[in-house]
Amino acid sequence: MSVVVTLDDGRRQEFASGVTLLGVLEVIDPAAKKETIGATVNGYPVDLRSRLDQDAHVGFISVSSEEGLSMLRHSAAHLMAAAVEALFPGSRFAIGPAIADGFYYDIEPPRALTPEDLQAVEAKMRELTEQKLPFVRFELPLEEAIAKMNALGQPYKVEILETIRDRAAAGAGGAELEELETEVNRGADLVSFYSTGRFVDLCRGPHVLDSSVIRAFKLTHLAGAYWRGDERRPMLTRIYGTAFQTQEALEQHLFRLEEAKRRDHRRLGRDLDLFSMDDEVGGGLILWHPKGALVRTLIEDLWREEHLKNGYDLIYTPHVGRAKLWETSGHLDFYGEYMYAKMEMEGNDYYVKPMNCPFHIKVFQSKVRSYRDLPLRFAELGTVYRFERVGVLHGLLRVRGFTQDDAHIFCTPEQMVEEVTRAIDFSLFFLRAFGFDEYDACIATRPEKAIGDPALWDEATVALRRAADRAGLQYKIEERGGAFYGPKIDLKVKDALGRPWQCTTVQFDFNLPERFDITYVGDDNRPHRPFMVHRALLGSLERFFGVLIEHYAGAFPMWLAPVQARVIPVADRFQPYARQVSDRLRAAKARAEVDVRNEKVGFKIRDAEMQKIPYILVVGDKEATTGTVSVRRRGGQDLGVMPIDELVAVIQRELRPALQPAGLPQSEGGSIHQ
RNA sequence: GCCGGCGUAGCUCAGUUGGCAGAGCAGCUGAUUCGUAAUCAGCAGGUCGAGGGUUCAAGUCCCCCCGCCGGCUCCA
């Protein structure tokens, strides 16, 4: 008997039936053997060890491909589990998938693990790689598999298998099973296992040939993780690690992680004297120092200017409001756990605001609104307080008191798509202005627990999609990810460690117009319910500032740099001239200062570089007598000696941000072109 | 909130089997007047996160709080 193999490039070749994919590879491309980690048969990934017993379309997976790398990491996760099992007998295993930068395995060990244990596990893994343990696949009927896992004392595996059984019985689709991560053998009565030495694991596969393939790896950290992500279920120990095709690639990755730490906004915030926090003030509450506050002011100035140009009305609203307001809005019911406790004064209860919306509604309600007034766009840099659980706080990126660049747009149903499109476009304008060209976008749809007619939800979701398409946005759909009151479009930017943070959110709100019963008078002289869009573009100034610090690694572009130029006299006697230079720059609206400290030039240069000041101006005898400055750009670039006038001209060109116009024609409110 | 780790000078960190709290940087004072990433010397700086316990003796061992870090859950 023989089988015919068809390759990706169309080549066909005959093999004896039962040939392994490794055997096929050895014939058709022996040189690629070293690089090849797995194969595909008719599009399904399989082990190189698996056998062909019928004609098939065959492909090979390179260890350097995304798919190959994640296969390697998945196998590394197994190897790690094998090592843990060897060192800590009685460990119970949950799931161990490959993830973006590596892999993890969730384990319930017999005792708490320490970072030192990680080193022991890693050493054990190295031992196992040297033993060249094969990853051997075998299959069992579901009920036998359950019995086997029970016998092995693996309750989490049993639960996974039982879920597979129950969902199969209920006729649930593949997507449901997919949620169970990597451990499932899709769609059959049989489930697959892999053994690695003495360690046996329920697993869909595929895996590398043997443990010696996993050479470049490292265990990185330990963390807790709830079983199935449910905080009511047991807390497991998650061990994170990473693996690469080569040692060099691994080291490069670890180096990138170190680099990322160097641009951590919490470190830079202190080093550059931008902001701080204090136990005595409270967690998640930010003290903006002069330099940070200056950057914030510049951001806010641009924001206000552009909002006015784009047809927004700026408003201010209070920080506290009476309980009735929050009852009407539904916040006390739906959001109460995040609100600071009530304050009782003269028999009235007040709450600090966690959102600005109810106040904006009240501004809308302050008089009768006509259809001719719409769309109305109320914008506010509104400071809100939310009592976030202590464990989620994170520098500037997750705080308890923050200022949203908030706005609420009240419009007719017909205006909705246009308004959302404009909001997205406006957001992209700001992101570009701050140097962000990359972000993830997603549209979140109706969650389980939601208010409002599902038909309306569909309609609104379609409107969001149309708007996103019109704005030219690439986006993913996040099913059931919307807020309880409406669907939304989110834009996320990434921090230094690659963690995504939501900045822009454009949310449709069914809830508040109903609850506050707001209306406008239509051309039929009857009341109508306006549509309401809630949007924040930068998100919160705190978070945006944090992401911005990391994005620029603290080296702000000229227009945002707290100090734009520092003049360094080479000796004390040149201080008067240094002050002249500084005064000239300040007269030209540049933020300049003189370093009068009694230090050598090298010291002052180093300090200015570390403070990431864009222009470093050295003046001594030569410059003082000729009316020039020696100009050094941040980073060590020498621009040579130039007359003060020329320097002023050079610097003035950089004082304003380089703004690109938004991509859509503007209606009322003027153009956003500079 | 949960799991794990860590809290020593403003910052980064040493501190042996329990035995007189240290260094570098930053700060202050003085000397030096210097040409593109750290001049030298001196001084000052601490309830070792808080509280309780064991001990002749606790930064060190135990208990319990608080805070921070990495994740999980949750979110701008």
- Residue A306 has a pLDDT of 96
pLDDT of residue A407: 97
* pLDDT mean across residues, chain A: 89
pLDDT tens digits, A33-60 = 889 999 999 988 999 999 998 999 999 9
- Tell me the helix, strand and coil percentages in chain A, rounded to 5: 40, 30, 35
By C-alpha to C1' distance, B69 is nearest to A394
* Shortest CA to C1' contact from A392: nucleotide: B74
Q: Of A79-88, A173-182, A304-313, where does mean pLDDT reach its minimum?
A: A173-182
pLDDT at A284 over 60: yes
How does residue A501 score in pLDDT terms, banded at 50, 70 and 90?
confident
Residue A104 CA, nucleotide B74 C1', distance (Å) = 21
Is residue A179 classed exposed, middle or buried when 0-12, 13-18 and 19+ CB atoms within 10 A define those classes?
exposed
Residue A262 (CA) to nucleotide B7 (C1'), in angstroms, measures 22
Report which of residues A333 and A373 the model is more confident about.
A373
Please report, rounded to whole angstroms, the spatial distance between the CA atom of protein residue A627 and the C1' atom of nucleotide B49. Answer: 56
pLDDT tens per residue across span A89-105? 999 999 999 998 899 99
The predicted pLDDT at position A179 comes to 36
Q: What is the DSSP letter of A372?
A: G
More confident of the two residues A261 and A314 = A314
Residue A73 CA to B76 C1' — how many Å? 34
pLDDT band at A674 (very low <50, low <70, confident <90, very high): very low
C1' of nucleotide B72: residue with nearest CA = A225
pLDDT tens digits along A148-164: 999 999 999 999 998 88
pLDDT at A39: 93
Determine how many CB atoms are found less than 10 A away from the CB of residue A191. Answer: 26
State the average pLDDT over residues A296-320: 96
Residue A430 contacts residue A466 (beta carbons within 8 Å):
no
Between CA A262 and C1' B70 the distance (Å) reads: 16
B39 C1': nearest CA residue: A600
Nearest nucleic acid nucleotide to A628, CA to C1' distance? B35
Distance CA A358, CA A553 (A): 37
The catalytic site residues of A sit at 357, 386, 404, 406, 408, 488, 534
pLDDT in tens, A1-30: 889 999 988 889 999 999 999 999 999 888
Strand pairing report for A56-62 and A2-7 = parallel
> CB–CB of A616/A636 below 8 Å?
no
pLDDT greater than 90 at residue A595: yes
Nucleotide nearest to A401 (CA to C1'): B76
Which nucleotide's C1' atom has the smallest distance to the CA of A538?
B76
Nucleotide nearest to A238 (CA to C1'): B71
Note the pLDDT of residue A257.
84
Q: Residue A621: its pLDDT value, please?
A: 95
Q: What is the pLDDT of residue A458?
A: 87
Average pLDDT over residues A465-487: 86
Distance A395 CA to B67 C1' (A): 14
| pLDDT band (50, 70, 90) for residue A175 | very low
Measure, in angstroms, how far nucleotide B4 C1' is from residue A124 CA: 21
Model confidence pTM above 0.95 = no
For strand B, the positions having any atom within 7 A of a protein Cβ are: 1-5, 11, 31-39, 66-76
Rounding to the nearest 10 degrees, give the CA dihedral for residues A63, A66, A69, A75.
-120
Residue A576 pLDDT > 70, yes or no?
yes
**How far, in Å, is the CA of A666 from the C1' of nucleotide B1?**
47
The nt closest to A501 (CA vs C1′) is B76
For the cut 90, the answer to whether the pLDDT of residue A316 exceeds it is yes
Instruction: Give SS3 for A186.
Output: coil
Taking the CA of residue A74 and the C1' sugar atom of nucleotide B74, their distance in angstroms comes to 28
Cβ atoms of A377 and A426 closer than 8 Å: no
Average pLDDT, integer, range A412-421: 92
Task: Pick out the nucleotide with least CA–C1' distance to A481.
Answer: B75
The rounded distance, in Å, linking the Cα atoms of A405 and A352 is 18
Which contacts qualify for A460-465: CB closer than 8 Å, 24 or more apart? Answer: A460/A416, A460/A486, A460/A487, A460/A508, A460/A510, A461/A487, A463/A416, A463/A417, A463/A420, A463/A508, A464/A420, A464/A488, A464/A489, A464/A506, A464/A508
Q: Closest protein residue to B70 using CA and C1' atoms? A: A223
**A111: pLDDT strictly greater than 50:** yes
Position A664 scores a pLDDT of 43
In the complex, which nucleotide's C1' lies nearest to the CA atom of residue A636? B36
Q: Bigger pLDDT: A281 or A320?
A: A320
- Tens digit of pLDDT for each residue in A187-233? 457 888 999 988 999 988 899 999 999 999 999 888 899 999 898 89
Nucleotide nearest to A224 (CA to C1'): B3
- Residue nearest B66, CA–C1′ metric: A279
For the ranges A267-276, A450-459, A511-520, A663-672, the lowest mean pLDDT is seen at: A663-672
Q: In which element (H, E) is residue A238 found?
A: strand A235-244
The stretches of A199-283 forming alpha helices (DSSP H) are 247-262, 265-271
Residue A403 CA to nucleotide B32 C1', Å?
50
DSSP A136-149: EEEEEEHHHHHHHH
In 3D, which of A555, A577, A492, A504 has the Cα closest to residue A534? A504
Q: Which phi and psi angles does A371 have, rounded to 5°?
A: -60, -25
| Length A182 CA → B50 C1' (Å) | 47
Q: Report chain A's terminal Cα–Cα distance, integer Å.
A: 75
**Which percentage of chain A shows pLDDT scores above 70?**
95
pLDDT of A322 strictly over 60: yes
